[in-house]
Amino acid sequence: MKLIKGGTVVGPVGAIPGDVLIVGEKISAIFAPGEGPQEGDFEVVDATGKYVIPGGVDAHTHMELPFGGTFASDTFDTGTKAAAFGGTTTIIDFAVQRTGEVVQDGLAAWHAKAAGNCHVDYAFHQILGGVDDESLKAMDQLVTGEGVTSFKLFMAYPGVFYSDDGQILRAMQKARDNGAMIMMHAENGPAIDVLVKQALERGETDPIHHGLTRPEALEAEATSRAIWLASVAADCPLYIVHLSASKALEQVAAARDLGRNVFAETCPQYLYLTLEDQLGAPGFEGAKWVCSTPLRSKHETHRADLWKGLRSNDLSVVSTDHCPFCFKDQKELGIGDFSKIPNGIGSVEHRVDLLYQGVVDGKLSLARWVETIATTPARMFGLFPRKGVIAPGSDADIVLYDPSARTRISVETHHMNMDHSAWEDYEIDGKVDTVISRGRVIVSGDTYHGHAGHGRFLRRGLSDYLL
């Protein structure tokens, strides 16, 4: 037994002083300060001056993802350990079905990569790289038999993951029937490919052209088209991933105003980083920030609109889209041709901190911080009430967050398997102090007590948010 004593418990309904009793792997009770057990066989964890929050749930990671001839540089081992250091105790990674592959084989390959290697609990979404009769049937089997209840489709990357509108509609109809969530990479891939080809023909090869050839209009158009297609599929549940642009957000907000089953996430990079300052860094440096959707212009309203969207719940979740590549030998594949730079940024370790800075900066409430990083992703993807909340019966995944300490992000100190940080020198007015995963203290200050294999696979139910 453990008693977390003297802290302020923060959840989606607000902050209350309270002591949290953990028995085994579960939360057993929450007491008014000092009213918990006074003596007995338990260990006291002093939380004085700290926020006691549910462990973070990162609903969008890509450990070891094959991309553009290489692999995302974090394994499930290194990536989930980094997640733990950053206060994230659950990840949902994307199993991949490539075109022509059997869906269940793709899922089995992901289980093989993750099993025994994870430091925190994990679950899977399934990427469908080829929608046909077989994969549609597989969707039912994954929902009922495998605990995989969400499917990602791509309107981008023709020839790799791309689904056409007919395929998307068929998958949406299936999801409407079996209750699964359709997750959409909403960018118009065929149009982007034309712009990329034209840019390269003009000799525009620097990383910034990655962003310039993926304009806001092509994210907004695809987002709108996905929303319309979902309406044709009788309001199939739809979740737009990595939303980055104001006009895409407008589409989501309009659908939500109509009461539709439409949701969206954004990522820390879109809240803080920009086309000019990062992607447009001199020389090839900008390759560090090549991700899709791309970073947007600081001269437009994207960042302010995304923060506002988080407050208003037009954006429900903050995930990382953690997909790290080293600069040397990986990002460098795109020297002289931006279209060959592997797409992705590594942030799984920093999401809880970066969003806490939003609280310090007056952009989010404390309650909304916890909701967007933990409670809502758990509810969105069928992990609630096991994850995402501090309540009796829930898994004892708990973070003690210290608002009086500071974090400075650097490649020198991070735990992700990357040779650079997209967040180098970012300072946070707060710090992850202690991380508990299913009742075990796995991080205490800068000391690590966890181990690979502690993390377990989580079978998920259907989303909480559907009508």
Peptide bond into 385 cis (omega under 30): yes
Shortest separation between residue 213's beta carbon and Zn ion, angstroms: 16
Minimal distance in Å, beta carbon 214 to Zn ion?
12
Q: Under the phi-then-psi rule, with left for phi > 0, alpha for psi from -120 to 50, and beta for the rest, what region is 265?
A: beta
* Residue 435 φ then ψ, to 5°: -125, 125
CA gap 100, 129 in Å, rounded: 8
Q: Which is nearer to Zn ion, 45 or 380 (CB)?
A: 380
Instruction: Answer whether 462's CB lies under 8 Å from 180's CB.
Output: yes
Confirm if 147 and 456 have CB atoms less than 8 A apart: no
Nearer to Zn ion, 121 or 321 (CB): 321
Alpha-carbon distance 97 to 79, whole Å? 21
Cβ-based nearer residue to Zn ion, 348 or 442: 348
Q: Please, what is the minimum distance in Å from the beta carbon of residue 192 to Zn ion?
A: 13
Smallest separation, CB 241 to Zn ion (Å): 5
Chain residue at closest Cβ approach to Zn ion: 185
CB of 466 to Zn ion, least distance (A): 22
Smaller CB separation from Zn ion, 331 or 363: 331
Smallest gap from residue 187 Cβ to Zn ion (A): 8
Q: Closer to Zn ion at the Cβ: 206 or 321?
A: 321
Report the nearest approach of Zn ion to the CB of residue 402 (Å): 31
| Residue 464 beta carbon to Zn ion: minimum distance, rounded to whole angstroms | 22
Which residue type occupies 404?
S
Residues at the interface with Zn ion (CB under 5 A):
185, 321
Q: For residues 167 and 128, what is the distance between their CA atoms, to the nearest angstrom?
A: 10
Alpha-carbon gap, residue 435 to 268, rounded angstroms: 21
Instruction: Indicate the residue among 286 and 294 with the shorter CB distance to Zn ion.
Output: 294
Contact 184, 131 (CB under 8 A): no
CB-wise, 64 or 321, nearer to Zn ion? 321
Choice between 74 and 321, CB closer to Zn ion: 321
- Residue 340 or 440: the one with the smaller Cβ distance to Zn ion is 340
Give 281: exposed, middle or buried? Use CB within 10 Å, 0-12, 13-18, 19+: middle
Q: Least distance from C-beta 183 to Zn ion, angstroms? A: 9
CA 2 to each of CA 5, 19, 26, 45, 85: distance values in angstroms, whole numbers, following the listed order: 9, 10, 10, 7, 20
Give 55: exposed, middle or buried? Use CB within 10 Å, 0-12, 13-18, 19+: buried
User: Least distance to Zn ion from the beta carbon of 105, Å?
Assistant: 21
Nearest CB to Zn ion, comparing residues 5 and 185: 185
